[in-house]
Structure 1
Amino acid sequence: MKQHDKMPEDDPRYRVANREALLGVGLVIINFILWYGFAYGIGSKPVEEYSYIWGLPAWFFYSCIIGTVIIISLVILAVVFLFKEVPFDEEGDE
């Protein structure tokens, strides 16, 4: 069977791409859960009861500042340890 006659499902690059896409979706879901949990968990109190960190409401600080740092760290770890380099040319199937 020639290389170009193979079905896309037979190509291991598709399995790698699907796995990495699912990892990306998982990171987005984690990001949303962190953001929503901090923003609406801590931020649902009356404004008079807010606590502040560095002049920012605590809900904003944890949701947008700390949440961003956590997600960036998780993305870096995922890229370094979970993602694989895949050749784009058709001769690269190994």
Structure 2
Amino acid sequence: MKDQRFKIAHKEALIGIGLVIINFAIWYGFAYGLGSGDPTEYKYVFGFPAWFFYSCIVGTVFMIVLVWVVMKLFFTDVSFDDEEVDK
């Protein structure tokens, strides 16, 4: 029987890649969606251009919360000790 730790690690790696793609999509969408216009017409939130506020500040807070939720729901604590695999 194959070591279950590799199956768990593979699943968690794919989840990590998914989180990176979500992070990039949020950042790119707000940065280039709101920031592609004329700088004289930018809207501001708390003194920051809206594209920066939503892509960098709100996006970062959202990703921290999302990673925390994913860690609690989908990740498993795995022992690194050598264990004999059942055959």
Q: TM-score range by the shorter chain?
A: over 0.9
Structure 2 match to 1:29: 21
User: Could you list the runs of 5+ residues in structure 2 that have no partner in the other structure?
Assistant: none
| Residue pairs, 1:1-94, within 5 angstroms | 10-91=2-83
User: Could you list the runs of 5+ residues in structure 1 that have no partner in the other structure?
Assistant: 1-5
1:91 deviation in Å? 2.3
Q: Aligned in 2, Cα 1:50/1:79: closer, same or farther, shift over 3 Å?
A: same
Partners in 2 of 1:82 and 1:29 — Cα distance?
A: 17
Partners in 1 of 2:56 and 2:45 — Cα distance?
A: 12
Partners in 2 of 1:81 and 1:92 — Cα distance?
A: 28
Please report the TM-score for the alignment, with normalisation by the length of structure 1.
Answer: 0.86
Q: Identity over aligned residues, as a percent?
A: 55
Please report the TM-score for the alignment, with normalisation by the length of structure 2.
Answer: 0.93
Q: Aligned in 2, Cα 1:65/1:82: closer, same or farther, shift over 3 Å?
A: same
Partners in 1 of 2:84 and 2:48 — Cα distance?
A: 51
**Larger-gyration structure (1/2):** 1
- The letter for the 2-side match of 1:29 is I
Q: Aligned in 2, Cα 1:65/1:93: closer, same or farther, shift over 3 Å?
A: farther
Cα root mean square deviation, aligned: 1.6
Q: What do the CA deviations read for 1:62-90 (whole angstroms, capped 9, x no partner)?
A: 00000001100110001111100011112
